[in-house]
């Protein structure tokens, strides 16, 4: 079984290459297809637009939401192609992680001029990674919330 840091590192590396090759401004769906193929070429299992079922208060939602990419059935990758990521996007990904009971996800915005500003690692009760190559836009390793990582402004990531 691959380590989470290896999976997320491979996703970030592939996304960086994709952003360098294609640049910003294409539709999210284009980046999704190309990134999924690049990850498969790197030996990772990738599912696209995976419907996720969950239960709440006795109600079952068979397609409560869909994740853009599910890598190795362990890492959720949500893709955007917008000028700027809104706080809601990170919260949405954290909700997905909680409902799926997964520890980590990546929010990648291909609309950013450079991908360094467009990659956010969102964690769900996971100790921060010891791998410095995954610390994109982070000034600290833990925030006020348990398991939270910090963004470039020193604020907790949710």
Question: Among 81, 131, 85, which residue's Cα sits nearest to residue 104?
Answer: 131
Query: Is there a domain that residue 86 lies in?
Result: yes
* Residues 94 and 118: beta-carbon distance below 8 Å: no
Query: Is there a domain that residue 139 lies in?
Result: no
Residues in the chain where the model's pLDDT stays below 70? 1, 126-158
> How many whole angstroms separate alpha carbon 49 and alpha carbon 32?
9
Q: How many domains does the chain have?
A: 1
Query: Is there a domain that residue 29 lies in?
Result: yes
Query: Is there a domain that residue 104 lies in?
Result: yes
pLDDT of residue 147: 36
48, two tokens = 């696209």
Range of the domain at 33: 4-134
Query: Is there a domain that residue 113 lies in?
Result: yes
> How many whole angstroms separate alpha carbon 67 and alpha carbon 129?
23
pLDDT of residue 71: 98
pLDDT of residue 133: 43
């Amino acid at each position: 079984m691959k380590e989470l840091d290896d999976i997320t590192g491979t996703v970030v590396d592939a996304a960086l290459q994709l952003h360098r090759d294609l640049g910003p401004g294409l539709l999210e769906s284009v980046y999704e297809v190309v990134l999924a193929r690049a990850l498969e070429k790197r030996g990772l299992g990738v599912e696209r637009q995976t419907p996720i079922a969950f239960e709440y208060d006795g109600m079952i939602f068979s397609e409560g939401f869909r994740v853009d990419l599910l890598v190795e059935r362990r890492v959720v990758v949500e893709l955007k192609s917008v000028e700027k990521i809104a706080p809601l996007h990170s919260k949405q990904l954290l909700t997905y992680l909680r409902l799926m009971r997964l520890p980590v996800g990546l929010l990648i915005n291909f609309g950013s001029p450079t991908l360094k500003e467009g990659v956010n690692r969102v964690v769900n009760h996971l100790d921060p990674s010891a791998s410095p190559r995954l610390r994109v836009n982070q000034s600290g390793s833990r925030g006020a919330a348990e398991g939270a990582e910090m963004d470039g402004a020193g604020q907790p990531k949710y």
